[in-house]
């Protein structure tokens, strides 16, 4: 299948250090580069499957590690203002030396955000927790809109970190009345369980691809 297309060429002005915008200059004619390319659906599908498997593998590793990180980082950031990034920059490369996906840290931050939101919603569905509900109401909108990736910058807290910080400080008497506890404990425990469930589901991605390939082969031979 053939496809033609083009785009405007942008010249660089060495004197000003900026690009020349021909679209606003009536004396300059627009320039286009013509090109032709072949679109092979089967090749595109194979590339999509390969990318999907890579992302699934990275998320599996990151979600499996979440239980360890919760106790070490979440409460420390909230209680002691230790703003360490939730994603270790050393993990941008895998142990076998292969290159990680370009936005692996951002993908992990988004997964953490969704895990947290799902954990809170599942708790509130079964338990009447006024402190958790009040804190969640103040942060919920931020969990379901576009958020700029914090990039591990301690001055740019993610919506997840901001929510956990407020939740840790929302203490309440325990059931026996002998101590103060935070609703963050239940959220972090539930979040770890959800992360494990999602990791288990992602383990099935390669099998899904094999099933699709088998279906395509069956149809081609029919």
Give the pLDDT confidence score for residue 151 in this predicted structure: 62
Longest dimension (CA), the chain: 81
Please give the Cα distance from 13 to 22 (Å, whole number): 12
Give the pLDDT confidence score for residue 137 in this predicted structure: 93
**Residue position matching structure tokens 């809109």:** 145
Q: Taking Cα atoms as reference points, which of 200, 203, 202, 189 lies closest to residue 66?
A: 189
47-80 confidence digits (pLDDT tens): 999 999 999 998 998 888 876 665 555 555 555 4
Give the pLDDT confidence score for residue 169 in this predicted structure: 79
Give strand pairing partners of 35. Answer: 5
CA distances from 198 to 60, 104, 135, 192, 214 (A): 8, 17, 25, 10, 25
Give the pLDDT confidence score for residue 65 in this predicted structure: 81
Burial call 204-216: b when 16+ CB within 10 Å, e when fewer: ebeeebeeeeeee
- Residues of the chain with pLDDT below 50 are 1-7, 80-86, 90, 95
155-170 confidence digits (pLDDT tens): 667 888 888 888 887 7
**Residue position matching structure tokens 């589901």:** 201
Residue partners of 107: CB distance under 8 A and separation at least 6: 55, 58, 59, 101
Specify whether the CB–CB gap between 204 and 212 falls below 8 A. Answer: no
DSSP characters over 57-113:
HHHHHHHHHHHHHIIIIIHHHHHH-----SS-GGGGB-TTSPBPPTTHHHHHHHHHH
Helix then strand count (H, E) for the chain reads 7, 6
**Residue position matching structure tokens 């250090």:** 17
């Amino acid at each position: 299948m053939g496809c033609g297309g083009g785009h405007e060429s942008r010249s660089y002005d060495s004197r000003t250090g900026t690009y020349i915008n021909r679209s606003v200059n009536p004396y300059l004619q627009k320039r286009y580069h013509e090109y032709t390319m072949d679109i092979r659906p089967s090749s595109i599908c194979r590339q999509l499957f390969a990318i999907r498997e890579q992302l699934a593998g990275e998320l599996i590793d990151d979600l499996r590690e979440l239980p360890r990180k919760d106790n070490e980082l979440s409460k420390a950031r909230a209680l002691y203002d230790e703003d360490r990034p939730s994603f270790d920059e050393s993990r941008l490369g895998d142990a076998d030396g292969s290159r990680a996906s370009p936005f692996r840290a951002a993908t992990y931050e988004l997964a953490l955000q969704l895990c947290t939101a799902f954990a809170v919603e599942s708790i509130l569905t079964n338990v009447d927790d006024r402190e958790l509900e009040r804190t969640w109401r103040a942060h919920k909108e931020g969990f379901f809109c576009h958020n700029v990736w914090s990039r591990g910058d301690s001055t740019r807290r993610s919506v997840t970190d901001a929510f956990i910080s407020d939740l840790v400080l929302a203490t309440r008497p325990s059931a026996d009345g002998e101590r103060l506890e935070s609703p963050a404990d239940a959220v972090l425990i539930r979040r770890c369980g959800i992360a494990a469930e999602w990791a288990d589901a992602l383990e099935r991605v390669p099998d899904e691809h094999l099933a699709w390939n088998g279906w395509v082969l069956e149809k081609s031979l029919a």
